[in-house]
Amino acid sequence: MKSFEEIAGVWLESEIFGKQYSYRKGIEKDVEHLINYFGTRNCEEIKGMDVDKFIQYETENVNPNTGKPFSKRLMKAHLSAGLNIYDYALENDLIDCRNPFDRKKKKIPKSAPVEQRTPIDDEQKEMVLRVYHRAQIAAVIMLYCGLRRGEIIPLEWSDIDLLNKKIAVIKSVERVDSNNFRVKGHTKNGKDRYITIPDNIIPLIKLEKFQSNGKKLIFTQKCGKMHTVGSWQSTWESYQNTLNYEYYCQQMRNVGRVPKPYNSPTGIPQLLQHFTPHQLRHTYCTMLYHAGVDALKASKLMGHSNVQITLDIYTHLEQKYRTIDISPFNNYVRNDVANLVIPMTNMA
103-107, 285-289, 301-305: range with lowest mean pLDDT: 103-107
CA distance 316 to 189: 23
Q: What is the pLDDT of residues 34-81, one digit of tens each?
A: 999 999 999 999 999 999 999 999 999 999 988 889 999 999 999 999
Q: What is the pLDDT of residues 95-137, one digit of tens each?
A: 999 999 987 666 788 887 777 778 999 999 999 999 999 999 9
CA distance 40 to 58: 19
Q: What is the pLDDT of residues 25-43, one digit of tens each?
A: 999 999 999 999 999 999 9
Confirm if 258 and 251 have CB atoms less than 8 A apart: no
Residues 6+ apart with CB under 8 A from 187: 148, 150, 151, 169, 170, 171, 172, 193, 303
Confirm if 142 and 277 have CB atoms less than 8 A apart: yes
Distance of CA 190 to the CA centre of its chain: 19
Prediction pTM value: 0.81
